[in-house]
């Protein structure tokens, strides 16, 4: 199965991806996670990417396409793309690649959340460095400050979860990623899902769509 998960920052793409990849046994490719790991290892790509990511800007299309292409061609049994494509140029180059390897997309799922909810989620978001569990410091803080309830790991705030970068990420989403949704919406493979309420309930809806 080849799936794309689209949605604004804070719509729960990471959380839903974890459920989907476990349930359907497919590889989860998160461009955000791939780039953050490149940044942590100070690779050439990571050093360049950090400058863009900290401000909430997208890294240039050519770099991103090159980084993800290598991974996709090796996943003949399927994948779940989370955070890619984010621009029309990325979507078109993905189409071309999938056509070349004769592996068309099965479904595109778009998560929908209100701006107010996104701002609340991102402004108070903190993430465990070890198990990636998400906390909202205003509504669901950890029992012990900075320590993960699940695994005892250290809880961190992403460097792009600050007010300026959040506003920039939302603006970029509207300007560059909404056209990608329009692009897929003209196909029969695209499904829109309301992404508020309990994560498990959102997943139930996604699971039903993927089993159609
Ligand atoms: P979010 O959806 O919360 O903004 P991600 O973890 O998906 O965060 O991405 C974090 C950052 O990584 C983005 O703000 C951007 O700088 C970079 N990035 C991720 N995916 C892409 C992409 N497809 N094209 C360009 N930059 C990307
Ligand atoms: Zn943890």
Question: pLDDT, tens digit, for every residue of 42-85?
Answer: 999 999 999 999 999 999 999 999 999 988 988 878 999 999 99
Annotated catalytic residue 158: yes
Q: Which residues pair with 128 in a beta bridge?
A: 155
Condensed to tens digits (0 to 9), the pLDDT of residues 101-158 reads 888 899 999 999 999 999 999 999 999 999 989 999 999 999 999 999 999 999 999 9
> How many angstroms separate the first and last alpha carbons of the chain?
12
pLDDT value of position 187: 81
Query: Is 3.40.50.300 the CATH classification of the domain at 2-115+164-210?
Result: yes
Q: Domain limits of the chain? A: 2-115+164-210
Tokens 């791939």 -> residue: 34
Judged by its nearest atom, the ligand closest to the C-alpha of residue 131 is 2
Annotated catalytic residue 125: yes
Instruction: Give yes or no for residue 188 having a pLDDT over 80.
Output: no
Testing ligand 1's pocket by substitution, the residue of 63, 83, 175, 176 carrying the most ligand atoms inside 8 A of its CB is 83
Annotated catalytic residue 115: no
Other Cβ atoms closer than 10 A to 42: 10
C-beta separation of 166 from 55 below 8 A: no
């Amino acid at each position: 199965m080849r799936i794309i998960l689209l949605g604004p920052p804070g719509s729960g793409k990471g959380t839903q991806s974890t459920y989907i990849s476990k349930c359907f046994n497919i590889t989860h490719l998160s461009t955000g996670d791939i780039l953050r790991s490149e940044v942590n290892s100070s690779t050439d790509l990571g050093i360049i990417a950090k400058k863009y990511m900290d401000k909430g800007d997208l890294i240039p299309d050519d770099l991103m396409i090159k980084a993800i292409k290598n991974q996709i061609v090796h996943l003949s049994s399927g994948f779940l793309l989370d955070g890619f494509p984010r621009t029309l140029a990325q979507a078109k180059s993905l189409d071309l690649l999938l056509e070349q390897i004769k592996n068309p997309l099965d479904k595109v799922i778009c998560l929908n959340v209100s701006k107010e909810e996104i701002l609340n989620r991102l402004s108070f978001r903190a993430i465990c460095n070890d198990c990636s569990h998400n906390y909202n410091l205003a509504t669901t803080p950890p029992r012990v400050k900075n320590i993960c309830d699940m695994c005892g790991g250290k809880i961190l705030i992403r460097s792009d979860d600050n007010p300026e970068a959040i506003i920039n990420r939302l603006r970029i989403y509207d300007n560059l990623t909404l056209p990608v949704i329009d692009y897929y919406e003209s196909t029969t493979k695209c499904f829109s899902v309301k992404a508020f309420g309990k994560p498990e309930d959102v997943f139930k809806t996604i699971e039903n769509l993927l089993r159609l």
